[in-house]
Amino acid sequence: MNKLGLQLDHKLLAHIQGALDYSPAAIIIAAAPSGEILYVNEAVRKFRGHTDSPLTGIQLEQYMMSWKEFDANGRQLSSEEMPLGVAISQGRAVDNQEIIVELDDGSRKWALASAAPIFDDDGEIIAGSVIWYDITERKQLEAKLKQEADFDCLTGVFSRHRFMESAERILERFQRDYQSMSVLMFDLDYFKDVNDYYGHAAGDEVLRSFAGIIKRGVRPSDIIGRVGGEEFVLILQGADLDIGTRIGEKLRSEVERSAITTDTGEVSITTSIGVSSPGILQQQIGHFPSLDELLANADAALYEAKHKGRNRVETTLACF
């Protein structure tokens, strides 16, 4: 190669080196099979929070001792399972794997990692490279959006969408294993009057307090969702219609005894409750009820409770 060609090669390598050095993506290159780190860029140091520590020349395992890596499900990865370890030890590429990195200060970050082996002319693995992007902010935003989608922001109980998803799974399990369950549908009596007299801020406080009473009165395995303005639905797992009715009466009594303090005065409320159970409903309609049928049956019972004067618990059979 002539002198000009060598100069161009050196300039090209220097340009590539500069591009790697200032890339926003973190890059590590390590030798195989020794694991000696050959190259790291500034983004790696920033990701770790150590901008002045020397990294090249040390062993990969020694470097990795300063952090732990986990897969997206929270399972800790061994050094051979880490993306760079896979490239070096197995000669396999890893494409866009989401990992959780726990740094030496205990903090955790999310990264999107890709790794690839580097082969010599004889096809032997001589090194491996990994490149990853810090996606912590994106994952935090995703978690925030999921929280907002899954939970009612006012009361903290399941949103309608999340409740219906969970209820479908519970009903499928009930049908498969024939476990007991019951559905309770709640409606706050004369809630519009509360809003009109005390104001909407007080109405919001009433809804929060009501949801709190229900949550405190049931088990963690039971699920409650807000499915309308002042309508809530509770699924009691392992509770037949009789038990569900008794629990409904207990909750109705707790609500009736409550005195909710708001900025515009103390508010007393009552609730009407309709109770349904798939086991009893199946006997009456001749087939296993769908979730819609089960909820319609509970809603019919709720209507009956309102029709009979409110502040009561009712069970009934809806006509299908």
Query: How far is the CA of 157 from the CAs of 18, 146, 211, 225, 227, in angstroms?
Result: 52, 14, 7, 5, 10
How many of the other CB atoms lie within 10 Å of CB of 121?
Answer: 6
From the list 259, 268, 273, 271, the residue with the least C-alpha distance to 197 is: 268
Can 230 be counted among the known catalytic residues?
yes
Report how far residue 232's alpha carbon sits from residue 160's, in angstroms, rounded to the nearest whole number: 9
Q: What angle do CA 233, 236, 241 make, to 5 degrees?
A: 100
Q: Locate 196 and state its tokens.
A: 């009109």
Please tell me which residue in 42, 165, 172, 230 is annotated as part of the active site. 230
Query: How far is the CA of 302 from the CAs of 135, 195, 268, in angstroms?
Result: 47, 22, 20
Sign of the C-alpha dihedral computed for residues 199, 201, 204 and 208 taken in this order: negative
From the list 187, 270, 269, 274, the residue with the least C-alpha distance to 228 is: 187
Q: Which of the 8 DSSP states describes residue 34?
A: T
Q: Catalogue the active-site residues.
A: 230
